[in-house]
């Protein structure tokens, strides 16, 4: 395979042919009069452009996952609005069922957004996906409740959630590919860590708003109209995100491929034909992220309040504190993955979850607020070892011509089967086993599968991005 520097003249201002490392990103040594050699950066991308790329990727992903997070954090309220309230657990299961069903469209979305991103450009796909997500989320705020329109309320909710799922299928993969293809070769892990950090920031705002609404509004006010307020924010935030993205050029890697006219007409077909092993490894590696992310960062407030009977405001506050620590840890993980390698970080994350998850869930049952916060910080920190490494790992597994498709299909397939169903499965397993540790065991099982998948992977952090 040729690396991305195989044609240095394909894009105006591309890296010099003699730059060391072959990627056009790594600095080489340049002699300085009267002093030692200093690194010289031959990457054609300016620092200002990189800052704008990071901002656009952060804001867009932040908006999409804020939209997604609000539904998870307000699941208890939404269950009483859109479903009959005669059976609390059944209504909650139905709410998480709608949450899960919206994920089933994500593999289809992965194929479509991957095709757009690999054929028409990363920028085009990302600009469209944020509009769809914002409009769909805004519409949730306008749907009347079950008491007003009966069964049509959950039906409309399901339709809007399907649109959200389809939109989200292109966001995480696209933003990761965008950042990795713009990043210096020795900082791809750090740049890609912006994606999970922005995801957590979206969750954080959702958690803060949920905690605020739970604190200042009565239960009646929250159920009647308060829960709708966060969804109304989607439209203006989405417009801002789209505006920023439309002001950027597509990535150097994609423009080089387009200039050489080496893009494939059917990226998904090429992916299945040539990169089946990478696809299987990627899908398995995503499993810990899929289950861990939604159990630890989205389902946890509901678990604490509904299963452990912790106060709603305290549950949201504990999750908010954990999210703040998660955002800080995620960038440290990105740096560590650049230094120690993607494979080592992912293996470490899986092993820690296998050993510590169930004991951590046992400690949650103490009812002590400080203990609950510390446990959530621990679980979130362990999760960052996977989440902060995964975006760069997945992007580096596939060459430029199928990178968006390979990332999107593997990521969304695993999330559809196991991520979106995680809150539903956690609630169902507790109901079936009458064991409050069931979500912890479910997370352990996901960690084992991810560990096996990563063991078959090759290290990618020190290699140039694949082009063909």
**DSSP line for 109-165:** HHHHHHHHHHHT-HHHHHHHHHHHHHHHHHHHTT---HHHHTTHHHHHHHHHHHHHH
Task: Provide the pLDDT for residue 447.
Answer: 95
Residue 14 has pLDDT above 50, yes or no: no
Whole-angstrom distance, CA of residue 183 vs CA of residue 50: 8
Stretch among 121-135, 215-229, 253-267, 300-314 having the lowest mean pLDDT: 300-314
Instruction: Write the pLDDT tens digit of every residue in 48-78.
Output: 888 888 988 888 788 777 876 777 777 778 8
Q: Is the dihedral of CA 71, 75, 81, 84 positive or negative?
A: positive
Q: Could you tell me if residue 325 is inside a domain?
A: yes
- Segment 28-38 shows an average pLDDT of 38
Mean per-residue pLDDT, 196-217: 84
Residue 402 in any domain: the answer is yes
Is 4 part of any domain? Answer: no
Q: Which of 302, 333, 279, 349 is nearest to 107 (CA)?
A: 279
Most confident of 87-101, 233-247, 410-424, 443-457: 443-457
Using DSSP's 3-state secondary structure scheme, residue 330 falls into helix
Residue 451 has pLDDT above 80, yes or no: yes
Residues written for the chain: 468
- pLDDT of res. 87: 63
> How much of the chain exceeds pLDDT 90, in percent?
30
Average pLDDT, the chain: 81
Residues 224-250 have a mean pLDDT of 83
Gap between the terminal Cα atoms of the chain: 6
Domain-located, residue 283: yes
**Tens-place pLDDT, residues 394-409:** 999 999 989 999 999 9
* 13 against 379, higher pLDDT: 379
* DSSP per-residue letters across 206-254: HHHHHHHHHHHS-HHHHHHTGGGHHHHTHHHHHHHHHHHHHTSPPPHHH
pLDDT at 203 over 50: yes
- What pLDDT does 36 receive? 38
CATH number (domain holding residue 350) = 1.20.1250.20
Mean pLDDT calculated for residue range 100-122: 88
Query: Tell me, what's the pLDDT at 44?
Result: 65
Give mean pLDDT, residues 308-323. Answer: 77
Q: How confident is the model at residue 89 (pLDDT cuts 50, 70, 90)?
A: low
Q: Quick check: 206 and 230 in contact, CB under 8 A?
A: yes
Report pLDDT for 37.
37
pLDDT (0 to 100) of residue 432: 85
pLDDT band at 1 (very low <50, low <70, confident <90, very high): very low
Q: What is the mean pLDDT of residues 183-187?
A: 91
Asked if residue 18 has pLDDT above 80, the reply is no
Whether 462 is covered by a domain: the verdict is no
pLDDT higher than 60, residue 151: yes
Q: How confident is the model at residue 332 (pLDDT cuts 50, 70, 90)?
A: very high
pLDDT for res 104: 83
Cβ atoms of 171 and 129 within 8 Å: the answer is yes
Ramachandran bin of 295, using left for φ above 0, alpha for ψ from -120 to 50, beta for the remaining angles: alpha
| 8 inside domain | no
Amino acid 9: pLDDT? 33
Mean per-residue pLDDT, 197-217: 83
Q: Is the pTM of this model over 0.75?
A: yes
Task: Answer yes or no: is pLDDT of 32 > 70.
Answer: no
Among 313, 309, 322, 306, smallest CA distance to 360 is for: 322
Radius of gyration of the chain (CA): 22
| pLDDT over 50 at 443, yes or no | yes
Report if residue 461 sits inside a domain.
Answer: no
Number of domain units in the chain? 1
pLDDT in the model for residue 386: 94
SS3 content of the chain, % helix, strand, coil (to 5): 75, 5, 20
Give ∠ CA 405-459-3 in degrees, rounded to 5: 60
In this predicted structure, what is the pLDDT of residue 193? 95
Give mean pLDDT, residues 259-279.
Answer: 84
Residue 147 lies in a domain: yes
Confidence of residue 283 (pLDDT cuts 50, 70, 90): very high
Assess whether pLDDT exceeds 90 at residue 351: yes
Q: Is the pLDDT of residue 38 over 80?
A: no
Instruction: Name the band, by pLDDT with cuts 50, 70 and 90, for residue 468.
Output: low
CA–chain centroid gap for 430, Å, is 26
| Torsion over CA: 310, 303, 70, 393 (sign) | positive
Which residue segment(s) compose the domain that 337 sits in?
Answer: 47-455
- How much is the pLDDT for 365? 79
* Residue 466 reports pLDDT greater than 90: no
Q: Any idea what the Cα angle at residue 403 is, between residues 200 and 396, rounded to 5°?
A: 70
Mean pLDDT of 156-167: 87
Please state the rounded mean pLDDT for residues 321-336.
90
Is a pLDDT exceeding 80 seen at residue 354?
A: yes
């Amino acid at each position: 395979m040729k690396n991305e520097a195989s044609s240095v003249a394909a894009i105006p201002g591309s890296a010099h042919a003699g730059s060391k490392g072959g990627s056009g990103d790594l600095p080489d040594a340049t002699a300085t009069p009267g002093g030692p050699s200093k690194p010289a950066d031959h990457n054609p991308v300016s620092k200002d452009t990189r800052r704008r790329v990071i901002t656009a990727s952060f804001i867009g992903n932040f908006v999409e996952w804020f939209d997604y997070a609000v539904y998870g954090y307000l699941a208890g309220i939404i269950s009483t609005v859109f479903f009959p309230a005669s059976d609390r657990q059944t209504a909650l299961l139905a709410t998480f069922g709608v949450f899960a069903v919206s994920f089933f469209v994500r593999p289809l979305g992965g194929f479509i957004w991957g095709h757009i991103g690999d054929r028409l450009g990363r920028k085009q796909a990302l600009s469209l996906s944020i509009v769809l997500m914002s409009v769909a989320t805004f519409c949730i705020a306008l749907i009347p409740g079950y008491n007003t329109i009966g069964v049509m309320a959950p039906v409309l909710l399901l339709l809007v959630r399907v649109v959200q799922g389809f939109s989200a299928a292109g966001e995480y993969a696209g933003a990761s590919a965008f950042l990795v293809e713009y990043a210096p070769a020795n900082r791809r892990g750090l740049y890609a860590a912006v994606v999970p950090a922005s995801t957590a920031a979206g969750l954080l705002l959702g958690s803060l708003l949920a905690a605020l609404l739970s604190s200042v509004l009565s239960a009646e006010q929250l159920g009647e109209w308060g829960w709708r307020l966060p969804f109304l924010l989607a439209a203006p935030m989405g417009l801002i995100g789209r505006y920023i993205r439309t002001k950027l050029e597509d990535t150097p890697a994609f423009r080089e491929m387009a200039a050489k006219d080496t893009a494939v007409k059917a990226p998904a077909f090429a992916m299945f034909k040539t990169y089946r092993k990478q696809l299987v490894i990627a899908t398995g590696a995503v499993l810990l992220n899929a289950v861990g992310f939604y159990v630890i960062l989205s389902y946890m407030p509901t678990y604490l309040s509904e299963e452990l009977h912790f106060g709603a405001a305290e549950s949201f506050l504990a999750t908010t504190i954990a999210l703040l620590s998660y955002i800080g840890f995620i960038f440290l993980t990105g740096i560590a993955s650049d230094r120690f390698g993607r494979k080592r970080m992912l293996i470490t994350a899986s092993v820690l979850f296998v050993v510590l998850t169930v004991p951590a869930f046992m400690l949650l049952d103490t009812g002590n607020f400080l203990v609950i916060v510390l446990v959530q910080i621990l679980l979130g920190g362990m999760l960052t070892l996977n989440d902060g490494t995964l975006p760069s790992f997945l992007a580096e597994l596939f060459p430029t011509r199928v990178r968006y498709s390979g990332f999107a299909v593997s990521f969304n397939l695993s999330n559809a089967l196991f991520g979106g169903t995680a809150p539903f499965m956690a609630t169902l397993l507790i109901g079936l086993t009458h064991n409050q540790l069931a979500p912890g065991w479910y997370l352990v099982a996901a960690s084992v599968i991810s560990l096996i998948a990563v063991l078959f992977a090759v290290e990618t952090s020190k290699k140039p991005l694949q082009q063909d």
